[in-house]
Amino acid sequence: MHSVHEKILKFMSKFQSKHGYAPTVRDIMKHLKFASPRSVSYHLDRMEIAGLIKNAGKARSLQVACVVEDRPDNPMIPVYGPIRAGHPELQSQLPLGMLEIPPALFSSGVQKKGFALTVKGDSMEGAGILDGDLVIIENSQPREGDIVAALIDGESTLKRLVKKNGTSYLKAENPKYRDLIPAAELVIQGVAVGSYRKF
């Protein structure tokens, strides 16, 4: 996680606990000694894209979307996204920020090559993965029935992996969406091992 983003998250959490409401942009600017509100807004925009905060666009509407602990040894993973939980689409590979991994999700696959994706769409709602969630992806060998981040014919999506009669394909957890059978190629990028729910 970007050091400035971590400082903002910690200040927001402490401010909320003390006062019972969220800090304003100017509160953050004053406490962290930013030069202008615009500088704060820039970082808040990046943090919202990464799923670290939620901003309703009103005064004192900022909300922390993940917990930052005072543990410098906690590993962090890059946040990419969004990934479609709907119809596949081309996926940007530029990281949007960093996410601290909670202790419950420590594993070699997450720590070494893990990453997080911001979910876009409702095709996995039956598995409890909703639009706007952050899904943590582990670099591990997928098994039948795993929820995976995949490239299907060059486009990215989040679906359940199904294997039948020697053929692998992707299945949604929403009856509105059809099965995705690769025309040429199916590449599994990783296995979903956990998620954060935005407030």
Q: What is the pLDDT of residues 72-123, one digit of tens each?
A: 456 777 887 677 665 554 455 556 677 776 665 656 666 667 888 888 889 9
pLDDT, residue 140, reads: 84
pLDDT of 197 over the 50 cut: yes
Residue 67 reports pLDDT greater than 60: no
Domains 3-64 and 76-196 share a fold: no
Architecture (CATH level 2) of domain 76-196: Ribbon (2.10)
Q: Which amino acid is at 104?
A: A
Dig out the tokens for 56 from the structure: 């309703």
Give the pLDDT band of residue 146 (cuts 50, 70, 90): very high
Q: Average pLDDT, stretch 159-173?
A: 92
Show which residues are catalytic. 123, 159
Q: Of the segments 62-66, 148-152, 190-194, which one has the largest average pLDDT value?
A: 148-152
The pLDDT value given to residue 78: 80
Output the CA angle 124-128-129, nearest 5 degrees: 50
What are the pLDDT digits (tens) for 4-45? Answer: 877 888 888 777 767 767 788 889 999 999 888 888 888 888
For 42, other C-beta atoms within 10 Å of its C-beta total: 13
What per-residue confidence (pLDDT) applies to 179? 93
Cα–Cα distance between 18 and 54 in angstroms, integer? 19
Distances in Å between the alpha carbon of 168 and those of 98, 179, 181, 190, 193? 32, 11, 8, 15, 20
Domain limits, the chain = 3-64, 76-196
Average pLDDT value over all residues in the chain: 78
Does this model's pTM top 0.75? My answer is no
Mean predicted confidence (pLDDT) in 164-179: 92
**In the predicted structure, residue 69 carries a pLDDT above the cut 50:** no
CATH of domain 3-64: 1.10.10.10
